[in-house]
Amino acid sequence: ERETRLSRYSGPGRTRDGHPVALLANIGTADDAFAAADVDVEGVGLFRTEFLYLDRSTPPSVEEQTETYASVLRAFGTRRVVVRTLDAGADKPLAFAPSGEEENPALGVRGLRLSRRVEALLSDQLTALAAAAKQSEADVWVMAPMVATAEEARWYADRARAAGLDTVGVMIEVPAAALRAGEVLASVDFASIGTNDLAQYTLAADRMLGELAPLLDPWQPAVLDLVAATCAGAGDLGERPVPVGVCGEAAGDPLLALVLVGLGVTSVSMAPAKVPAVRAMLALHDRQRCVEMAAAARAAPDPAGARDAVGELLDPEA
């Protein structure tokens, strides 16, 4: 019965009153991409590229990368594909770019920090992405993982643009970047919030430790506050407001997706199987209702209270 209810809705995401909210897929391999391309999604909101680098003794060549990226981009036609450049280091070590022994790998040389230590890795990847973009009609966006400061965002944007990539963004997954979103986003075109790491760093709770799962709940009001801070900073950019998406697990929770939209998020990216339920939930609620839900969630003392408060504002049909 749920299936038939969900199949009433298709196409681009929008609230009941017609505000667009792009529905995008998270993918982690080329095969994921080919499967997602056949699903009713508006594109890819997070293409994790680590699969090309892990478990091998030398980095992938520019040619190999170009071929893989081009095949993925072509599968999506003219749709948007947001590619995240390499997010390795620490717990995802690379044989050819050792980050050394670290006592606190989640706080170590990972993500963009590793790209700055071994610059050739990033420049080859950007070169390959720019070449692949030319071989397809896809709307190619690139973004950096684990950005903490405005200086890092500028450093990355300069290199990506010099490589020939026009739409450049950063992931917001470090609290410092969320709190200073205005400055961090001043040099880029878009932001994508990674709620998995954002929750880990906000609650100081290792995302690999199952025991700490309650602290890592993306409904934590402190995490929602940082999503709000990011949207506020992005909106403060005046003539050039920067769109903010969410690509962490939170985006695939239909109820939480309403809250994110109420906080100002304009795209959500998730496992493709989760898209229909999120689309249907959006279609049943006006944006103003999402804004009320966001306020209710942030006013709650804890994740359970936030869920309950939002549940009370749901459309009876949902």
Give binding residues for phosphoenolpyruvate as ranges: 48, 84, 196-197, 207
Closest-CA residue to 27 (of 47, 1, 55): 47
When the beta carbons of 111 and 233 are compared against ligand PEP, the nearer one is: 111
What residues from 94 to 133 belong to the interface with Mg ion (CB under 5 A)?
none
When the beta carbons of 48 and 116 are compared against ligand PEP, the nearer one is: 48
Q: Does 197 bind Mg ion (CB under 5 A)?
A: yes
Q: Does 245 bind Mg ion (CB under 5 A)?
A: no
- Rounded Cα distance between 249 and 246, Å, is 9
**Would you say 191 and 181 are in contact if contact means Cβ atoms under 8 Å apart?**
yes
Query: What are the Cα distances from residue 305, in Å, to 127, 220, 257, 264, 300?
Result: 48, 10, 17, 21, 5
- Residues in binding site: 48, 84, 173, 196-197, 207
**Would you say 233 and 184 are in contact if contact means Cβ atoms under 8 Å apart?**
yes
Helix, strand or coil, per DSSP, at residue 287: helix
Q: What is the closest distance, in whole angstroms, from the C-beta atom of residue 145 to ligand PEP in the complex?
A: 7
x/- mask, ligand PEP, residues 246-285, rule CB under 6 A, reads -xx-------------------------------------
x/- mask, ligand PEP, residues 201-230, rule CB under 6 A, reads ------------------------------
When the beta carbons of 67 and 91 are compared against ligand PEP, the nearer one is: 91
- Rounded Cα distance between 255 and 294, Å, is 10
Binding-site member from 42, 173, 189, 217 for ligand PEP (CB under 6 A): 173
x/- mask, Mg ion, residues 160-189, rule CB under 5 A, reads -------------x----------------
Helix, strand or coil, per DSSP, at residue 223: helix
Q: Which residues contact 180 (CB under 8 A, 6 or more apart)?
A: 149, 150, 233
Binding-site member from 68, 115, 195, 267 for ligand PEP (CB under 6 A): 195
Q: Does 152 bind ligand PEP (CB under 6 A)?
A: no
Q: Which residue is nearest to Mg ion (CB)?
A: 197
When the beta carbons of 67 and 91 are compared against Mg ion, the nearer one is: 91
Supply angle C-alpha 27, 157, 126, rounded to 5: 55
Q: How far is C-alpha 236 from the geometric centre of its chain's CA atoms? A: 21
Choose the contact partner of 16 out of Mg ion, ligand PEP, none; CB within 5 to 8 A by kind.
none
When the beta carbons of 274 and 287 are compared against Mg ion, the nearer one is: 274
Q: Which residue is nearest to ligand PEP (CB)?
A: 194
The catalytic residues are 247
Q: Which residues contact 52 (CB under 8 A, 6 or more apart)?
A: 60, 64, 65, 68
Q: Does 32 bind ligand PEP (CB under 6 A)?
A: no
**Would you say 298 and 224 are in contact if contact means Cβ atoms under 8 Å apart?**
yes
- 19, with CB counted inside 10 A (0-12, 13-18, 19+), is middle
Give the footprint of ligand PEP on this chain (CB under 6 A): 46, 48, 87, 173, 194-197, 247-248
Give the footprint of Mg ion on this chain (CB under 5 A): 173, 194, 197
